[in-house]
Each structure stands twice: as structure tokens, then as C-alpha cells.
Chains A and B, each alone.
Chain A
Amino acid sequence: MSELWPTIRFTINGKSCAVQAPPMKRLLDVLREDLRLTGTKEGCGEGECGSCSVRLNGELVNSCLVPVLQAEGADLQTVEGLATNGVLHPLQKAFLEQGGAQCGICTPGMLMAAAQLIERNPHPSMAEIREGLAGNLCRCTGFMRIFESVIAAATQRDEAAAEKVADAR
């Protein structure tokens, strides 16, 4: 069977890659099984919990609902691609400091949703944070520490940007 599978190419966390897989295979399973990127989690398999959230061409998607064929040529980002050169992404740092992660199983998806949110909307209101994360179920935190983390990360980004401007002067 596998010799009949098409080769599907995409970029993941900045690296191009190719997999041979049945076209209906879920992107989630390709990430976890074929590419061994196990940071992306499965919580429900029905697009309800958001644990499998990744970014596909700059959009937030539930990778359990994407047949891999539809990722052909796409630019993908997973939790493994958030940190750069071993330096935590501002969201990762904020989650660590503010208690945004407890058991950690929703965390990768939550981080991707939060990254999508603050990239589109650098200063989200509380209502916008709540909406942006509503598709990512967390059973541990009651969300308060997560909201604090997103606010802290957004603020930190501002401060970093302000420093850059100051340096430039």
C-alpha cells in the first residue's frame, strides 16, 4: 500500500520536509508518527479541545481535522518551533513565570492559540483573549494564570520593542 501513497511536501518550523502518507491521514498523526514531533497532542479527535492546535500558513488549525493532503505546500508551525536557538518565546517564558501550565497536556495547543492571538492582535483585551483561547480546553488552571501569561507576554513584547527603539536612538 505504502508505495501508492503520494509524497506530500511542506515546511515545518522553517525546515522543508516530505512525507509519504495516505492523503486522508490526519496532519496530527503525520506530525506525531511520521515526523516524531510529539509536542502536538490529541485530546479529543473532534476539534473540540484544541490540544492539537498548530499554525498552518499563519492560521490556527486543529491538526486532527486536517487531512495531510491539504497541507501540501503549507508553512507549518508547531510548539517545537516557538523557541528560537534555545531561547524561550515570550509566551513560553510568561507561562513559566505566571503558572500558565500545570499538567502541560493542553499547553502546546494553548501556546499556539496564544501566539496566533498576539501576532494578530498585539494588545488583546480580556474579551479578545478569552475568545482567542476558547477553543483550547484546559482542565487544570481555570484559565486565570493563562490569561495572566498572555497579558505578561504581550507586555513583555512591548517592552522588548521599546528597548529596541531606544537602542536604535
Chain B
Amino acid sequence: MLCVNPLSIRGFPGMPTKTTTRIVGAPVPRKEGADKLLGRARYVDDIEREGMWFGATVRSTIPRGLIRSIEFDRSIDWNEFAVVTAADIPGENHIQLIVADQPCLADEQVNHCDEAILLIAHPDKHKVRAAVDAVRIEYDPLPPIFTIEESERQDQVILGADNLLKSFVLEKGDVDAAWKDAAHIVEGEYRTGAQEHLYIENNGVIAEWSAENGVTVWGSLQCPYYVHKTLIKVFDLPDDKVRVVQTETGGAFGGKEDYPSTLASHAALLAMKSGRPVKMVYDRMEDLAATTKRHPSRTRHRTALDKNGKLLAMEIDLATDGGAYSTLSSTVLSRATIHAPGPYVCPNVRVTAKAWATNTVPYGAFRGFGAPQSIFALERHMDEIAAAIGLDPIELRRRNFLHEGDTTATEQLMREPILLDQLLDRALRESDYYARREQFAKENATSLAKRGIGVATFFHGSGFTGSGERILNSLAGVDVMPDGTVRVLVSNTEFGQGTNTVLTQIAAEALGIDYDDIAMAAADTGVVPNSGPTVASRTVMVVGRLIERAGAQLLAMLREHAGLGATYTRDEFFAACERYRAQKGEPLSLVRYEPPPGIYWDDQRYHGEAYPCYAWAVHVAQVAVDTLTYSAEVEEFWSVQEVGRVLNPVLATGQIEGGIAQGIGYALYEKVVLQNGHMANNQMTNYIIPTAEDVPPIHVYFEQIPFSYGGYGAKGIGELPHDGPAPAIVNAIKDATGVSFHSIPLLPEDLFAVFVANQNVEEPAAP
């Protein structure tokens, strides 16, 4: 089952293709790969500090209520322990995200199960565990709400005046006027469940505090400057008295975007209270129960089409469950809103989107960031439309694809070529789609296993939404150390996706030196500038571009001040660096983000250039549904995508395959079971992700159109592959069984329940 991975680059007039790079585009080995393979890479739990204590958290056992009393069991000598409550916080008791409404430690009231109330540290990790169990908290319970419906009905008002965390309306054309001209109107409601990141390394940090130096935190995290932003407020310290250092990070997927701000604050508070370095590393049960998940969603579609199957109007009502605090719900909702109408042309669109508060652990960032929810609904709905109007689902999509010169739902003009038709052609060809469909239709009549094949076509906006990148105003660069090491200076982090490798490739390419000449500066706020968070598929496209520019700028500096020739050898480059150092000081080249020209975004009307560019993909899934056990398995998967220029084919393929495996889990295996707002299946035995035996052969193909404003032509890649598997799989299940499923995850019990409702299960078909 070898994955064929042919790369073809299409050149278009006026587009810089730069096909003659030396290092960019090559499958160079992962920068930190050898350390990881030799067991030398140091993750946070591998690090010890002199005199280090261990911290733990006392958490709420109820979903909502007032804290009446906190009692400390007398069997324990509390003098040995450092104990922190909200009263110990020197600055603001808030985590700094978009809206600072989430307390660092609950004070007076708790709003979800497993909310942190009190922190304990001790030199002996077993004693700290026993101490957690010896704290008794009495509550006056308040009635909780757990679902979108309970929140929108305002069964209880738990947040603000109406439980609403955020809302958006996106409007194009005149939806209300369109229905009367429609040949077909098709409606549908679709739901997606929560999903756990299940990075294999749990959240963890080590913190130190001193009166002179302030706070230093080392941790498993994505965004050092996010953590920094919270710590300066929690401790009321100036910028330079807080230092955040990322340690090797064992997976993140968005799960270490916002949560580490909370955990770092906790460990740092204990460090201040105890006067010792404090390590806090969650075990799996705590990580699952207490940290963020993907937002559950409900999407309602009402769609008008003309007699030829062309979209006339899309009315989309989108609701997400945000959990107890705002965290990132507004930006997740924003991306969900913009992706809801998908990669199709439609003259009249209205998306009404709302994020609702509930008494659950706040939902947060997770690969795809709202898009997988919206795309599941839309791509499922496209198949329902096709069935309703009697059109082939492939043909329906093809008739409505966006093309160059069209505008999206935000009326963003598509200025660059769009290869959707070619991607679809290739996906159908590689998967032998029509032949398989025909074959399965024949075999299913007499077989206990029903096979089917399904498709999803979609895009994913690369980088921050709208004005986001301009607001971030990222700064990044390269410098040359006295020992000749050339460093990439970014706050962007490596957590498996390949940041180190690809940014090193870009720097080496831009400077005309070797891959091994480049080192990544530590992701340490005391060392590197703020080049923005490592999220939103932005690192290679946006930050990579900064490094490409910083490299060109350094060469210009060396040419102007140190006599570097128009062409030069590696030795001449380093000699020029030394001359520069002697005359002007450290060779340092920093550049700031510059938006592509002609970009306009209206944050009020949700109108304009939502993203600098889009990555496009077609997924095809083949499933088998066992009619004896009601379980669905993916048997084979094809993914064809255009992500701009592919800078490292091995890493890029790995991103696609990994995203698809996670998407398969999202569709068929992964269910967060909440009991009274607490995750009841908070163990790996009971929260099921696909194993090596469950992930099917995945075939990955790239088409390439270099993006003029991305690092060496790259667009975003990391999140795209998580968007398509769920709808492609559920479409395939419909193809296999004839039954429409409208929600995920679809575990065998869920399939069974719908089959029962359809009275489809009495006697299995006799072979």
C-alpha cells in the first residue's frame, strides 16, 4: 500500500513559480528528527529543576453553583504544602483571550465541572495527590444547562443577558426574494459532536518565580506570546518580567493554543506561593476531563436551486456550543460562518451564526477551527440536495463550483486560478469512483456488508480571518551568531507539523546556504520576536513568507555593507557576515507582515477578503457497513488537494494523512460522553481513536499553484485535511445503505438507532 505522491506544478501566466529551488520542495529530513528518534528530545515531563515541587488542582465536582465553603481535612499537615486560591492572585483573575471572562481560579462561583478552584504543591507528588482528595468543597448548586437548545431557550440564563457568546450575520444578495423563483427548495439539519485532540503528550508546564526576575514558564504549548499575555495580567508584571519558553511538544492540534495560558498561570502561582520551581503535568484522566474540545454544532440549511441544479439561495442557520466561557468561541464561529457556504457560487446567501454558553468545559481551538463543523453540514446537505432533485452528487457540485473571477459568499473576488474541476477529475479517476459505485450497487443486493463511496469537495481559508493578520502585525527574522550559526527568529512552534523543518528550508533557500547551516532559535519570548501564534494554517504561508523576505533583506544588507557578491559561495556568505559584524554589529534582519495588496475586509458586515487565499481539496471515502454489527469502517481513502507550493512532500503528505485519520475518528469513533457536564469517558480505553488497524490506506495527491504571497508559494495545509473526511464518509454510508445520517459521530450504536427508527433491522438479509 504505497502512497503514490506525484507532484505536478502548474505554471500560470504572471505567477512566480520558482521551480528551481535547491532545498524548498525537497523531502529533507525533519530538523529535530534525530533527537526524537534517539529519545533525546526533552518534553516538559522530561525536565527537572533543582528543588522542584509538584502541583495539582482541586476542581469543581458540580456543573454550576456557588462555593459555600472550602474545608481542609485535618489528617494532613497543610504547613508542608503551598495552597493557592483566587485570593492569592496578584493581578487580574482572568485568562486573556478575546474576552477576558474566564477566571484563572474560580472565585465564589463555578460554571462547569472540573473548573479549577484551588491549587496545591508539595515536593512529593504522591502527597500532593492525597492532599487534593483531602480538600472538601461545599456548594449551593444552581441549575445547569448543557445543550445548544437549553441555552437558546434560556432555560437558565448563565451568561450575560441571553447566554449568547457571539453572533454573526453574513449576507450576500437578497435571499428572501430568491425562494419564489426556485425550482427546488431543500432543507436539512446536521449536527456534529465534541472532539478531543488526544495529543499523546498531556498538557504540562514548569514555572519559576522570583521577585527579581518575575515569572518564567517552560511548557508544552503552541503560542508562547498568548501565555505571556495572560501571565503579565495575572501577575501584574511588565512584559520583560515574564518569560515563556516552549519545550518539545508532543502534539497539540489546537488543544495547546489557549489552555496553556491557564495551566501556566496555575503553576506560576504555586511557584510564587512556594518559592520553588513547580511542575504541573496532567495525567490523561485530568487532561481529558478539564481541557478544551472541539465545539459541538447544529447547522440548518435551506437551499433554493433552479431547474438545472444551480444554487439560487442558501440560508444557513449555524449554532455552536461554546461551553462556560468565551475563550475562542467567537473566532471559531467566524471561521465556521465563512466556510458554511463552501466552495460554491451562489448569488444569495445568508448565514446566521450564534455561539451559545453552556455549563461545560469551554470548547476551544481544534484543527479546522469551526470549518469541519460547517463543511460536514454543507457537504452532507449537497448529497441530500442531489438525491432530492435527482442529480448525481458529483454533477451537482461541479455545476456550482467557484471559478476564477467568481465571488464567494463574502463577495471576495477569486483572483487566482481554482483547480476544483481538475481536483475532482483526478479524485474520481484515482478512486475509480464510478466503477466502484456500480460494482457496490450490484454486490450490496446479496451481501451482508454494504459498501459505498462518498465525496466531499471543500476549501479552507489560510491564515487568520479578515483583518486578523494585520492586527497580529507579525515580526520575524534571521540573525547570524558569532559562531556562524544562522538562526530563524520566530515565536512559531514545532509540535509535529514541521515548523522547524520548513522554516529552515525557507531560510536556507533564501540565503543560499545549506539546510544544516540554519538553527531554529528557541521559542522563548526572551529571545524571539512575536511572529504570531502557531494556528490557522498560517506558519508556512505567512511566517514562511516573512523568513523568505528576511533572508532577502539580510543578503541586501550584506551586499551593501559587507561586499557580498551577486553570486557567492557558502564560505563567502559567512565571511561577509563576519565583516558585517565587525563594522555594523550583529547581522540581524527582521521584517514585519505586509498584507497582499487590494485586501479589504469589513468586520461589521462580514464582507470582503475573508482570507488571503484558500486551499482546496476533494476527498473520496469508501466504506463498508456491516449489517450484523451496524458498524461502519473506512476501507480506502483518496485525497487530492491544492495547497499552493508543496515545500516538503514527505511532511506535507504526513499532514494530509494525519488530518484524515483524525477526521475518520471524528466521523466514526470519537464521542465525548458527558454526564452532568463531566466527561464520563475520560480514559483512552473509553474515548476511542483509530489505531493502526483502523486507518485505511490513504492515497494523497497534490496539484500545485504557487501562491504569490505565501512563503515560496505555500498556502495553508495543516487544517484542510480534517474538513473533508466526515462528510465524505457519511455520504458513503448513505451510498452503501440508502439511509441518510445527519449527525456525527456515528458509532455502531448510533447507526443502529437510526436503522431501528427506519425499521431496517428486524432480520439481517440472508446471504
Q: Do chains A and B touch in the complex (CB under 8 A)?
A: yes
Contact with B along A87-101 (1 / 0, CB 8 A): 010001001111101
Contact status A103-B283, CB under 8 Å: no
Contact status B200-A51, CB under 8 Å: yes
Report the stretch among B40-48, B151-159, B701-709, B759-767 that lies at the interface. B40-48
Smallest CB–CB gap between B32 and chain A, Å? Answer: 7
Which chain A residues numbered 99 to 152 have a C-beta less than 8 Å away from chain B?
99, 101-108, 111, 126, 129-131, 133-148
Contact status A96-B34, CB under 8 Å: yes
Report the stretch among B100-108, B270-278, B474-482, B685-693 that lies at the interface. B685-693
> Among the listed B662, B685, B692, which residue makes an inter-chain contact with A139, where contact means beta carbons less than 8 Å apart?
B662
Contact status B657-A48, CB under 8 Å: no
Interface status of A41 (Cβ within 8 A of chain B) = yes
Which residues of chain A are near B30, meaning CB under 8 Å? Answer: 96, 99, 101-102
Interface status of B199 (Cβ within 8 A of chain A) = yes
Contact with A along B30-69 (1 / 0, CB 8 A): 1011111111111101100000000000000000000000
Which residues of chain B are near A148, meaning CB under 8 Å? Answer: 2-3
Interface status of A63 (Cβ within 8 A of chain B) = no
A-side residues, CB < 8 A to B, are: 32, 37-46, 48-49, 51, 78-80, 82-83, 88, 92, 95-99, 101-108, 111, 126, 129-131, 133-148
Interface status of B539 (Cβ within 8 A of chain A) = no
What residue in chain A is nearest B662 (Cβ atoms)?
Answer: A139
Interface status of B661 (Cβ within 8 A of chain A) = yes
Q: Identify the 5 closest CB pairs spanning chains A and B, nearest first.
A: A39-B39, A105-B250, A103-B496, A104-B36, A142-B661
Report the stretch among B184-192, B453-461, B517-525, B647-655 that lies at the interface. B647-655
Contact status B199-A103, CB under 8 Å: yes
> Among the listed B39, B685, B692, which residue makes an inter-chain contact with A108, where contact means beta carbons less than 8 Å apart?
B39
Contact status A145-B37, CB under 8 Å: no
Question: Given known contacts A139-B253, A140-B496, A142-B657, what 9 new A-B pairs fall within 8 Å (CB)?
Answer: A39-B40, A99-B30, A102-B497, A103-B495, A104-B32, A105-B250, A107-B36, A131-B692, A142-B660
Which residues of chain B are near A40, meaning CB under 8 Å? Answer: 39
- In the assembly, what is the distance between CA of A99 and CA of B5, in Å? 14
Smallest CB–CB gap between B353 and chain A, Å? Answer: 29
What residue in chain A is nearest B253 (Cβ atoms)?
Answer: A139
B-side residues, CB < 8 A to A, are: 1-3, 27, 29-30, 32-43, 45-46, 197-202, 248-253, 283-284, 495-498, 650-651, 653-654, 657-662, 683-685, 689, 691-693, 695, 697-698
Q: A80-B38, A108-B39 are in contact. Are A103 and B250 (CB under 8 A)?
A: yes
Chain B interface, DSSP helix/strand/loop, else mixed: loop
- In the assembly, what is the distance between CA of A95 and CA of B253, in Å? 22
Chain A interface, DSSP helix/strand/loop, else mixed: loop
- In the assembly, what is the distance between CA of A82 and CA of B684, in Å? 28
Q: A78-B39, A102-B658, A145-B654 are in contact. Are A139 and B691 (CB under 8 A)?
A: no
Contact status B693-A144, CB under 8 Å: no
Contact status A143-B200, CB under 8 Å: no
Q: A43-B200, A46-B685 are in contact. Are A141 and B658 (CB under 8 A)?
A: yes
Which residues of chain B are near A133, meaning CB under 8 Å? Answer: 692
Smallest CB–CB gap between B571 and chain A, Å? Answer: 28
Smallest CB–CB gap between A72 and chain B, Å? Answer: 23
What residue in chain B is nearest A83 (Cβ atoms)?
Answer: B38
Contact status A41-B250, CB under 8 Å: yes
Contact status A92-B496, CB under 8 Å: no
> Among the listed B42, B200, B660, which residue makes an inter-chain contact with A103, where contact means beta carbons less than 8 Å apart?
B200
Question: B36, B45, B199, B695 — which one has the most chain A CB atoms within 10 A of its CB?
Answer: B36
Which residues of chain A are near B198, meaning CB under 8 Å? Answer: 137, 139
Contact status A88-B37, CB under 8 Å: yes
Contact status B692-A146, CB under 8 Å: yes
What residue in chain A is nearest B659 (Cβ atoms)?
Answer: A142
- In the assembly, what is the distance between CA of A140 and CA of B2, in Å? 19
Question: A39, A51, A140 — which one has the most chain B CB atoms within 10 A of its CB?
Answer: A140
- In the assembly, what is the distance between CA of A38 and CA of B36, in Å? 11
Q: A49-B684, A99-B653, A139-B253 are in contact. Are A106 and B692 (CB under 8 A)?
A: no
What residue in chain B is nearest A80 (Cβ atoms)?
Answer: B39
Contact status A44-B684, CB under 8 Å: yes
Which residues of chain A are near B200, meaning CB under 8 Å? Answer: 41, 43, 49, 51, 103, 105-106, 137-139
Which residues of chain B are near A97, meaning CB under 8 Å? Answer: 27, 29, 650
Which residues of chain B are near A45, meaning CB under 8 Å? Answer: 283-284
Which residues of chain B are near A32, meaning CB under 8 Å? Answer: 45-46
Contact status A44-B284, CB under 8 Å: yes
- In the assembly, what is the distance between CA of A99 and CA of B555, in Å? 32
Contact status B46-A92, CB under 8 Å: no
Which residues of chain A are near B660, meaning CB under 8 Å? Answer: 142
